[in-house]
Structure 1
């Protein structure tokens, strides 16, 4: 059965849904079996939110009240949107933000929650934090890390952010398809691999100095502060031996 992913992004009138902010742009880009669909299979709509954007949000997306005045309300596009995402896996960067706004808009219309319509919601920000703890994991930072061209992104826009996120997601999950492929080597390949291993130089093991260990523990202390939890490496380190009685 084909795997259908929808990369989704919204732009809103402000940061906090609790302050009465609304969605003013929504985009959803389809990918089937790790191949992006043609542009006519994407969804992109501007929405009249019925209110002005906060100054900070306006500086991010650049969508003015005047530009949005003749655009449809969310209620006018909700059926089209829900039909498009139905049964898919939603891929969203910082999913709690967008899901919060989607559920607010759906709730105002008595249409339940977005989770009622999709198989699951995957948060690429959480994925990135697991892969790169303690690093910057914004979409811009991930584009730079995975060498995804973002030169066309001068302002935040839902559609271009979806397209960038799709490329980042492909890079983050590269190699997962190999789990479905039989990589059992032939006898000739196994013999060649064994011959290459026998020609390797002996592995050199260097014991860390006291200074190296101090720097290592200082780095782990910094990770503990960033993650507000004990670093995984510390759980793997041998416990100091108890003093003899």
Structure 2
């Protein structure tokens, strides 16, 4: 059973290395490409104020976060939810960089040590739609995913939207998975059987010009193979 976690964060700013921190984490679970309804949604007290530019993006006030837990007190809950799954993250280097910084501050190994894989859906989108805008909003518009409720960035809402976007971008995998399931349930290979007797198939005979061209090719083959052309040995077809 394939388990995937779609993950998003909101932060106080753009640089974990200069002290910015995670203030919100949103995750939703997929099992075999189906949303299970399980999710993880946490707010954190970052111990510092958000930059004005970040506030304009996520709208999470510093006052709202004052009584929220510190990230390090929630690491076990977070890792228990993520452990062993493939993570799907849009612009993964940004979120993973922040998560690794938070884990390091808590004395815990980097994220890659706890999960099965990390997939960057932004890199996927760039391969599918080269030269186009591939922000989450742009992908929602292109793939007809309803994001009308997204006036501000929010980690859980963005994770839910990204899950829908990912499923739209990888629809071919769903068809392959369904074929594999059908094959596993059957006693042998799955074959599409069509009874051609139900069709009145026309017989298209070669024209005189095509027959001459064919004979010319056969003559050249006779010459190069010392008369061993296999086509000459086939029974004449009526």
Return closer, same or farther for 1:28/1:188 CA change in 2, 3 Å cut-off. same
Q: Kindly report structure 1 stretches of 4+ aligned residues shifted beyond 3 Å.
A: 189-192
**What's 2:166 paired with?**
169
Structure 1, unpaired ranges of 5+: 199-245
TM-score by length of 1: 0.75
State which structure, 1 or 2, has the greater radius of gyration over its C-alpha atoms: 2
Q: Which residue, 134, 151, 160 being the options, matches 1:137?
A: 134
Q: Aligned with 1:37: secondary structure? A: strand
Structure 2, unpaired ranges of 5+: 184-189, 205-238
Return closer, same or farther for 1:185/1:152 CA change in 2, 3 Å cut-off. same
Q: Which residue, 84, 88, 96 being the options, matches 2:81?
A: 84
Query: Displacement of 1:132 after TM fit?
Result: 0.6
Residues 1-245 of structure 1: matches in 2 within 5 Å?
A: 2-38=1-37, 41-180=38-177, 181=179, 184-188=191-195
Q: Aligned with 1:17: secondary structure? A: coil
Return closer, same or farther for 1:86/1:187 CA change in 2, 3 Å cut-off. same
CA–CA separation in structure 2 for the residues paired with 1:81 and 1:190: 61
Q: Aligned with 1:42: secondary structure? A: strand
TM-score by length of 2: 0.77
Return closer, same or farther for 1:52/1:191 CA change in 2, 3 Å cut-off. farther
Query: Displacement of 1:16 after TM fit?
Result: 1.5
The CA RMSD measured in Å over matched residues stands at 2.0
**What's 2:186 paired with?**
none
Deviations 1:14-40 (A, max 9, x none): 0122221000000110111111112xx
CA–CA separation in structure 1 for the residues paired with 2:18 and 2:170: 36
Query: Displacement of 1:101 after TM fit?
Result: 0.1
Query: Displacement of 1:189 after TM fit?
Result: 7.2
Return closer, same or farther for 1:101/1:184 CA change in 2, 3 Å cut-off. same
CA–CA separation in structure 2 for the residues paired with 1:48 and 1:153: 23
